[in-house]
Amino acid sequence: MLLGVIAGLGPLSYTFALQLIGDDVLPHKDAQMLWMIVAALFVINLIASGASYGQNYLTAWSGQRLIANLRVRLFARVMNLPLGVFDRWRPGEFLSRFTNDLGLMTDSVSISLPQLVQTVITFVGAIAIMFYRDWLLTLFLILFAPIVNFAVARFTRLISEGTKRAQDRIADLASNLAESLQSERIIKAFGREDFEVGRFRDKNERYFDAYMKLTQFGQTQTPVVGTIIQIAMLAILVFAAREVMVGRMAAGDMLQFVGALVLAINPINRFATYIADLSKGLVGANRVFEILDLPVERDDATDAIVPKSIDGAISFQNVTFTYASSNAPVLRDLSGEIKAGEIVALVGPSGAGKTTIVNLVPRFYEPEAGRIALDGIDIARIKLTALRGAIAIVPQEALLFSGTVGENIRYGRLDATRPEIEMAAREANAEEFILDLPQGYDTPVGDRGVRLSGGQRQRISIARAVLRDPRILILDEATSALDSHSERLIEAALDQFLPGRTTLIIAHRLSTIRRAHKIFYIEAGRVVEVGSHKDLIERGGPYSRLHAAQFA
């Protein structure tokens, strides 16, 4: 604030210089005093420029520090949101918050806010000088303030609404772009390049229209407010000149008053621009805090525990679950028992609830009724880090991060040593192809593992699970999309890895199902049959009929 005051003295010093020139220099033709005034102005404004730099830098630093901390908070909040939120929000909407909305906030706090602070100081100083010289004329100027305020408020509302509309449109555009980039293979396979370009063009035009409407509001505000201010300024100049002509004001006083008037009028016009920029920043802030206000995953209960050991016995007791986007329950009063170390296959028609069951075990979602127990303890009473620390998941589509092969395997346990990583790769039957890569374990896999085949990505995914050494393993159709050779390698790796671990397998392939000790046949959100493959075939129930239809 002190630097802002010093910076504001620079422009104000000219009003005092004008008074001295009008009252002393011009009447007495005093050249020496003129040069002294010029030298003083130079020194004062040099100091003011330095103070302005310091104030703007410190304000910008503070603003950028605030945004940087907010960016980390925003990312941390996104990382801790329940999976249900990601079912409702598109990735592009999150990206838009991180880029466009934080960008609006950055511009506001780094550019507009420092300039606004300095302008306010100059404006207050100018008004004080004007009151000192002629309070009546100053009050006349203030009469125009409600008109200016009405115009600024009106445009501020229009700009805020326009900014929100434009930000919604750019979020749609970002979502469209992210979706298209992720689906490039499907787009090319179906020859839909022109269709996608047309879809993107439509969204781009909607954003263009919204942005130009916003620009129209912003560009109209300045001349409208400027015209009101110009009328006020001209009227005051006429009255000030008349005061000098009738002898009620000295020429130097008039020059100082007019100089202060110019300093006051210019900030008023710039206020409108700064307030418009700040209103855009507020819109961005509201959209950012919309994410920050989303509820994170349910906190651990106050009496949550970390079990001394986890064997892996899982019990589902009358579990009911409904997705937020659905009216009908996906699971209805589901019950079932899984012993520690058992391999259980979840089988049933699509939409029966198999994936939902395995998502409830690591508490990706919370059941709305019933209870899930691990070793007899309700999983809601187990600390989330301890629960998930005992679980590893191998999804149907192996998800790799950009980085090296070794880094992707280490993701299973961040403190793993290189020998442990290599051991996990060997157990997953992955070392053979890894050593054939150009840089071995240090070979970059590309975005989402694009440089590797599907079988190679899946074996790295299994190596990541092996390294974690979980008590509970979840396999979500881990071999369904692979060729026969890759499947055999992965099946061999699983034969070594599964014994002794509680394993939940969502599977359709007969080879995977036969490996299971127990099969849960799921239908309409309930377990309708339980038994081994042989028992269920002999029973001739729904599983037997499904098996006959698929594997005959």
Q: Residue 72: pLDDT above 80?
A: yes
| CATH number of the domain to which 508 belongs | 3.40.50.300
Q: Residue 286: pLDDT above 70?
A: yes
My answer on whether 271 and 390 are in the same domain is no
Tokens 């945004």 locate to 67
The pLDDT of 509-524, averaged and rounded, is 80
Cα angle: 135, vertex 139, 142; to 5 degrees = 140
Contact predicate 335/319, CB 8 Å: yes
| CATH number of the domain to which 85 belongs | 1.20.1560.10
Whether 500 is in a domain gets the answer yes
Q: Residue 189: pLDDT above 70?
A: no
Domain that holds residue 367: 314-551
The pLDDT of 442-464, averaged and rounded, is 84
Phi, psi at residue 550, to the nearest 5°? -95, -35
Give the H or E element holding residue 531.
Answer: strand 526-531
Report the alpha-carbon distance of residue 414 to residue 487 in Å, rounded: 28
Task: From 292, 326, 351, give the residue that closes a domain.
Answer: 292
The pLDDT confidence band at residue 304, using thresholds 50, 70 and 90, is: confident
Phi, psi at residue 57, to the nearest 5°? -65, -45
The pLDDT confidence band at residue 190, using thresholds 50, 70 and 90, is: low
Q: Residue 203: pLDDT above 80?
A: yes
My answer on whether 258 and 341 are in the same domain is no
Whether 305 is in a domain gets the answer no
The pLDDT confidence band at residue 315, using thresholds 50, 70 and 90, is: very high
Residue 253 has a pLDDT of 66
Number of domains in the chain: 2
Tokens 């300045």 locate to 222
Residue 8 has a pLDDT of 55
Cα angle: 330, vertex 332, 333; to 5 degrees = 150
My answer on whether 285 and 328 are in the same domain is no
Whether 301 is in a domain gets the answer no
pLDDT tens digit sequence for 382-397:
888 888 888 888 887 7
My answer on whether 241 and 328 are in the same domain is no
My answer on whether 49 and 197 are in the same domain is yes
Q: Residue 6: pLDDT above 70?
A: no
**Beta pairing class for 472-476 and 391-394:** parallel
Whether 307 is in a domain gets the answer no
**Beta pairing class for 331-338 and 343-347:** unpaired
The pLDDT of 271-282, averaged and rounded, is 75
Residue 251 has a pLDDT of 64
pLDDT tens digit sequence for 413-431:
888 899 999 998 888 888 8
Q: Per the structure block, which two tokens stand in for 248?
A: 């009620």
Report the alpha-carbon distance of residue 545 to residue 540 in Å, rounded: 7
Distances (CA, A) of 131 to 127, 521, 548: 6, 87, 96
The pLDDT confidence band at residue 317, using thresholds 50, 70 and 90, is: very high
Identify the three-state secondary structure at position 233: helix
Whether 308 is in a domain gets the answer no
Whether 205 is in a domain gets the answer yes
pLDDT tens digit sequence for 205-256:
888 888 888 877 777 776 777 677 677 767 777 766 776 676 666 666 666 6
Q: Residue 523: pLDDT above 80?
A: yes
Q: Per the structure block, which two tokens stand in for 357?
A: 């069951």
Distances (CA, A) of 470 to 310, 311, 413, 467: 10, 10, 11, 8
The pLDDT confidence band at residue 314, using thresholds 50, 70 and 90, is: very high
Report the alpha-carbon distance of residue 126 to residue 531 in Å, rounded: 88
Residue 184 has a pLDDT of 67
Report the alpha-carbon distance of residue 275 to residue 155 in Å, rounded: 10
Average the pLDDT over each of 26-30, 153-157, 477-481 and give the range with the smallest value.
Answer: 477-481
Distances (CA, A) of 416 to 322, 421, 469: 39, 7, 11
My answer on whether 262 and 339 are in the same domain is no
Q: Give the type of residue at 346.
A: L
Contact predicate 535/392, CB 8 Å: no
Residue 418 has a pLDDT of 92
Task: From 292, 324, 346, give the residue that closes a domain.
Answer: 292
Among 158, 406, 436, 368, which Cα is nearest to 283's? Answer: 158
pLDDT tens digit sequence for 332-381:
898 989 999 898 989 888 888 888 898 899 888 888 899 999 988 999 88
Predicted TM-score (pTM) above 0.95: no
pLDDT tens digit sequence for 86-116:
777 777 777 778 777 887 787 777 777 767 7
Residue 252 has a pLDDT of 66
Q: Residue 149: pLDDT above 70?
A: no
Residue 320 has a pLDDT of 92
Q: Residue 136: pLDDT above 80?
A: no
Residue 372 has a pLDDT of 92
Residue 275 has a pLDDT of 73
My answer on whether 268 and 360 are in the same domain is no
The pLDDT of 406-412, averaged and rounded, is 88
Q: How many CB atoms sit inside 10 A of residue 38's CB?
A: 12
Whether 274 is in a domain gets the answer yes
My answer on whether 320 and 287 are in the same domain is no
**Mean pLDDT across the chain, nearest whole number?**
78
Q: Residue 303: pLDDT above 70?
A: yes
Whether 300 is in a domain gets the answer no
Longest dimension (CA), the chain: 121
Q: How many CB atoms sit inside 10 A of residue 438's CB?
A: 8
Identify the three-state secondary structure at position 333: strand
Among 321, 259, 290, which Cα is nearest to 15's? Answer: 259
Q: Residue 544: pLDDT above 80?
A: yes
Q: Residue 23: pLDDT above 60?
A: yes
% of the chain exceeding 90 in pLDDT: 4
248 vs 399: which has the higher pLDDT: 399
Q: Residue 300: pLDDT above 70?
A: yes
My answer on whether 370 and 461 are in the same domain is yes
My answer on whether 482 and 392 are in the same domain is yes
My answer on whether 532 and 408 are in the same domain is yes
Residue 88 has a pLDDT of 77
**Distance between alpha carbon 239 and the CA centroid of its chain, in Å?**
56
My answer on whether 241 and 319 are in the same domain is no
Q: Per the structure block, which two tokens stand in for 431?
A: 């070392």
pLDDT tens digit sequence for 85-94:
777 777 777 7
Average the pLDDT over each of 33-42, 265-274, 500-509 and give the range with the smallest value.
Answer: 265-274
Contact predicate 391/362, CB 8 Å: yes
Q: How many CB atoms sit inside 10 A of residue 345's CB?
A: 25
Q: Residue 410: pLDDT above 60?
A: yes
Q: Residue 481: pLDDT above 60?
A: no
Q: Residue 7: pLDDT above 60?
A: no
